Structure 1
Amino acid sequence: MAQDLALAQSQAFALARTLMVPVTLFRSGDEFGVVVSDEIDADDDLDIIHEFDPHDRRPAH
């Protein structure tokens, strides 16, 4: 878990590119975390911020 959003985003992007699977950046309380998207259940109480998909080829802007 990280308390800096920019650091969490960087780690999520790197993890998605390394594992070549979608990962989700989420907030829990005042910290941010990253988990493989397939591991998230609908019952989880997470504030999802963004999903990083390494196969998505859209431009960043």
Structure 2
Amino acid sequence: GSVSVSMSLFQTKLCFVCSHLTSGQKDGHRERRNRDVSEILRRTKFPSATDAEQPKTIPSH
């Protein structure tokens, strides 16, 4: 899982992501980490300040 924060500081958009990913070098661990990161990037959405805007995602920062 992860915890994410999105904010603007003056004219700069910032996004911080803290996540706990599978550790280790055993078979499948790297694939699991990559899959988890992809899922975090895909599913994390930040509500917009106005209803007219689409929610921001991590890559949109």
Query: Would you say same fold, with TM above 0.5?
Result: no
**TM-score after normalising by structure 1:** 0.24
Q: Which has the higher helix share?
A: 1
Give the structure-2-normalised TM-score: 0.24
> Higher RCO, 1 or 2 (CA under 8 Å, sep at least 6)?
1
- Compare CA radii of gyration and give the structure with the larger one: 2
